[in-house]
Structures are given as C-alpha cells and as structure tokens.
A = this chain, B = another copy of it.
C-alpha cells in the first residue's frame, strides 16, 4: 500500500439513519445533505478491496439515499455514492486476485464519492480495456437493472411500458427490448424526446404531457396488450396507466421520481382482472439471483458497451471538490448522467 496516502478528500453524509419521509430524489441544495472533508483512507478487511476512484456516476438512488429515503440507513460522516469505476490499489485477505485491476464497482464499505472507495470483491466487475471510464462507472446499477427488468417483461409477452423513458435506464430498456424482438412502449414528458426514443428502440412513444395522453395510451394498450409496466415515476398518472392496461398487468415500480402519493382508484381490478403491483430493486435481485446468472448478465452488459450497442450519455462532469456546491444544478440537465471525477 506504499502509493496509498493516509488521508483523502471525500463527500460525506451529514445525517444518520432514515428521514421517515418520501419526497423523491430531487435536491435543492446538496449542502443540506453533504459536506466535503479530509478523512482517513479506509483499510480493506477480509474479502474487501480499496479502489482509487477514476469516475463515479450519480444515480437517483444516491440522492434518495443521502435524503434518508432509501433501503439502507445513512451513516453520518461516511462518504456518499454507490457506483463508480477505478483501480484496485489494496486488497484484504482472499481478494488479492483483483489487485491492480480496473473495475466497475458498487460501494459497500466506504462510498464512491471520494478519492478512494472500498467494497467487497464480489461487488466488483473487472473491466475490459475497450470500455471507457464513463461506461465503466455506470456499468452496474442501470445496465443490470435494465437486463433484469426487461427479462421480466419478456416473460409476460412482447409489449411492455417504460415510463421516464428518456432516462439512461429507459433508453437501455428500449434498446434491449428491441434487440430481444419485443415492443417497448416508451413514455416521455417532452415531445422533443420522441425521435430519440424511436432511434433507441421504442416501438411506440407517447408524450405524457399531451392532454390526450390517457386516451392515446388506452387505444395503444387495447391493441398491443402490454402486461408489464416498468415505472420510475410512481405517481397518480402511473396508476391511471396501470388501470388502462389489460388483464394480468403487472405494475413494477423501481423508482419514485414524483413525490405525489398515488390512489388506487380501481382496487377491483386486482381482484377481478388478476393485476398486481410490485417493486424491483437491484440489490434484492443480486441477493436472490445465483452468482453464475449474475456473471452471465454482467458479461452481456459489458459486451454491449464494448461493441457500441450501449453507450453512457454524460451531461456534465463535476470534480469531487465541487459536488457540494454544484450537484443540485448539475442534476437539472435533462440528457445524460452526472459524472464525478477525483
């Protein structure tokens, strides 16, 4: 560990535990939740690795988490950030095979928004040299989620609905659906996004802000019979979309972009039409899916980035020391991900 310093700059969580609220991933000022500081570089324990950060990506789960609205409690004073890529510079017992490798990772021991991150060896995927740092730093959360969710959609038929389809994840799911011979129905907020989504693989694109949207969706739903709704928004409009879907439809929520609390206006549809409402969380999927299946999915993901079928659109790079001041504004840019660099 000769080249590893004793201290590092990191972006730290300012609060402990859960907030008990459900306000969505938007933040007005990152300083409400985060602060920059120099702290000790962590030492990897058995099965863990220390990673010198190359780049970290910002996902909605990151802002959910720092606000105390995610599936695990915050730790005040610990670095924020789940996902990134970097070089393994130190390893604990049993993890030395990764020493010196460039890896994509999800942080589990010490967060990704820091000069050094720490995680379990099993949360790392060694990166092929033909994968860029941009693609490498957004290799796990979105792509694995897309793979797993489109797989669920495929099990129920050919047509499926994707909300917030202009997101990186939405585009991945449309492209993946098309490649599998399925028919993704993309829902977007802005008319300008329609052509982009068609180019990305959507069979149909509807604009949710159109006053005729629900009528258009009902017509399309009756024709194409989508059984799965992969939903990042989970507001009242989501419920109305679900209501307009056919028998046996599954509303699968994987995000809560809108803080609006949806009402279940047609409870009887669950009973009489065999519909159901459920969630998807990659963490649970990784816990419940055998490692060999996960490795196969990870290999497919990397092949797609390597040959250019998939690409990570970047809206802006924010240096680690500017995260507290600049993150809230950076996240307002609509197309692509915010990337954090050391």
Which residue of B267, B270, B275, B277 contacts A270 across the interface (Cβ within 8 Å)?
B277
Q: How far is the CA of A279 from the CA of B275 in the complex (A)?
A: 7
Stretch at the interface among A91-99, A154-162, A207-215, A254-262: A254-262
Q: Which residue of B lies closest to A238 (CB)?
A: B267
Q: Which residue of B lies closest to A281 (CB)?
A: B271
Q: Which of A289-313 contact B (CB under 8 A)?
A: none
Closest chain-B Cβ to A209's Cβ sits at a distance in Å of 22
With an 8 A cutoff between CB atoms, is A22 at the interface?
yes
Using Cβ atoms and an 8 Å threshold, which residues of chain B touch A269? 279
Q: How far is the CA of A261 from the CA of B262 in the complex (A)?
A: 10
Using Cβ atoms and an 8 Å threshold, which residues of chain B touch A262? 263-264, 267
Interface residue SS majority, chain A:
loop
Using Cβ atoms and an 8 Å threshold, which residues of chain B touch A265? 22, 261
With an 8 A cutoff between CB atoms, is A266 at the interface?
yes
Closest chain-B Cβ to A26's Cβ sits at a distance in Å of 15
Inter-chain contact B270/A253, CB cutoff 8 Å? yes
Using Cβ atoms and an 8 Å threshold, which residues of chain B touch A281? 271-272, 274
Contacts A234-B267, A262-B264, A267-B256 given: A71-B272 contact, CB under 8 Å?
yes
Contacts A263-B262, A263-B263 given: A274-B268 contact, CB under 8 Å?
no
Using Cβ atoms and an 8 Å threshold, which residues of chain B touch A22? 265-268
Inter-chain contact B271/A254, CB cutoff 8 Å? yes
1/0 contact trace for A9-25 toward B, CB 8 Å?
A: 00000000000001000
With an 8 A cutoff between CB atoms, is A321 at the interface?
no
* Most chain B CB within a 10 A radius of its CB, from A70, A261, A272: A272
1/0 contact trace for A206-238 toward B, CB 8 Å?
A: 000000000000000000000000000010000
Inter-chain contact A276/B273, CB cutoff 8 Å? no
Inter-chain contact B274/A277, CB cutoff 8 Å? no
Contacts A22-B265, A265-B261 given: A280-B276 contact, CB under 8 Å?
no
Inter-chain contact A274/B264, CB cutoff 8 Å? no
Which residue of B69, B70, B266, B274 contacts A284 across the interface (Cβ within 8 Å)?
B274
With an 8 A cutoff between CB atoms, is A278 at the interface?
yes
Q: How far is the CA of A71 from the CA of B269 in the complex (A)?
A: 9
